[in-house]
């Protein structure tokens, strides 16, 4: 959110004819076109919020205005057939448009922690992310989570509703359309699945089958005018023609943790800060 706040503040000052004396605006892995937390995880925390203080805490963070403004997809209960961002996402984009989108006076620089070579997060679209099951004589609870898929099978949250009077219960899997593999897309990652795995459940054991998910897609951090999350950034011969930034940097090899500063990024960042 810091990059978005700085972007809006500078643009607002210029639109209000207030000098800001900023020479270089650096956006470091900011989600200009939206951030991502797997919808299955969002619904997981909401479903188990009544049984887990940790789940309730995370669910409440998802419902804060900043998260609702940034997330490209936000959970709703019940989940609509076509998932979408919270209305506050569009409000924020309209606020940017009202002040000209970007500041025009400073040099604009964007860094992305995501790969520019279309590298995914180490698993395919539709892969299972969380394995969680608990069963006794009275109840069976399955809390499995999948990454969003390109096809109909295997995405969302499988969440049977516990019944206190019988063993077992019918399962329901969220069906999310349209499907976009944003959970495994190139981008700065967040270790949400590992965080869930290391959280003590009130019953049963939460197992993360993959540690990370894409949090800020590379194309979002660089604000590229494409809807393709697997866009070949490194292969674009005229990349700056597709962004509002004057210079862009991205991870040369693997996807990096969100806001991680690698040695290469540190050199580039320092060069931009002292840019004449």
* Residues facing residue 216 across a β-bridge: 188
Is the CB of residue 145 less than 8 Å from the CB of residue 40?
yes
State the Cα angle at 208 between 203 and 210, rounded to 5°: 175
Pairing status of strand 205-208 against strand 128-135: antiparallel
- The domain segmentation of the chain, as residue ranges, is 2-273
| Global pTM value | 0.89
Q: Is 101 left (phi over 0), alpha (psi -120 to 50) or beta?
A: left
Along the 276 residues of the chain, how does pLDDT read in single tens digits?
999 999 999 999 999 999 999 999 999 999 999 999 999 999 999 988 888 888 899 999 999 999 999 999 999 887 777 889 999 999 999 999 999 999 999 999 999 999 999 999 999 988 999 999 888 888 788 888 999 876 543 345 554 443 332 233 333 344 444 456 789 999 999 999 999 888 877 778 889 999 999 999 999 999 999 999 999 999 999 999 999 999 999 998 899 999 999 999 999 999 999 976
Is the CB of residue 169 less than 8 Å from the CB of residue 139?
yes
Is the CB of residue 168 less than 8 Å from the CB of residue 162?
no
């Amino acid at each position: 959110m810091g990059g978005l706040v700085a972007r809006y503040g500078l643009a607002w000052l210029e639109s209000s004819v207030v000098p800001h004396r900023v020479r270089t605006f650096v956006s470091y892995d900011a989600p200009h076109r939206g951030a991502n937390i797997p919808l299955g995880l969002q619904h997981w925390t909401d479903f188990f919020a009544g049984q887990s203080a940790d789940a309730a805490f995370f669910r409440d963070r998802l419902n804060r205005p900043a998260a609702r403004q940034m997330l490209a997809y936000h959970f709703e209960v019940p989940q609509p057939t076509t998932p979408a961002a919270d209305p506050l996402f569009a409000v924020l984009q309209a606020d940017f448009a009202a002040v000209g989108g970007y500041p025009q006076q400073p040099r604009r620089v964007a860094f992305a922690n995501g790969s520019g070579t279309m590298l995914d997060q180490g698993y395919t679209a539709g892969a299972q992310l969380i394995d969680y099951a608990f069963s006794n004589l009275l109840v069976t609870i399955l809390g499995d989570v999948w990454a969003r898929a390109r096809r109909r099978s295997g995405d969302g949250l499988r969440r049977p509703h516990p019944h206190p009077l019988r063993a077992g219960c019918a399962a329901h899997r969220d069906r999310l359309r349209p499907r976009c593999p944003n959970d495994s897309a190139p981008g700065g990652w967040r270790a949400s699945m590992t965080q869930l795995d290391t959280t003590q459940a009130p019953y049963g054991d939460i197992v993360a089958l993959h540690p990370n998910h894409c949090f800020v897609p590379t194309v979002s951090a660089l604000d590229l005018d494409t809807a393709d999350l697997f866009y070949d950034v490194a292969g674009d011969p005229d990349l700056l023609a597709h962004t509002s930034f004057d210079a862009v940097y991205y991870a040369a090899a693997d996807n990096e943790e969100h806001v991680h500063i690698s040695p290469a990024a540190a050199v580039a960042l320092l060069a931009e800060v002292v840019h004449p």
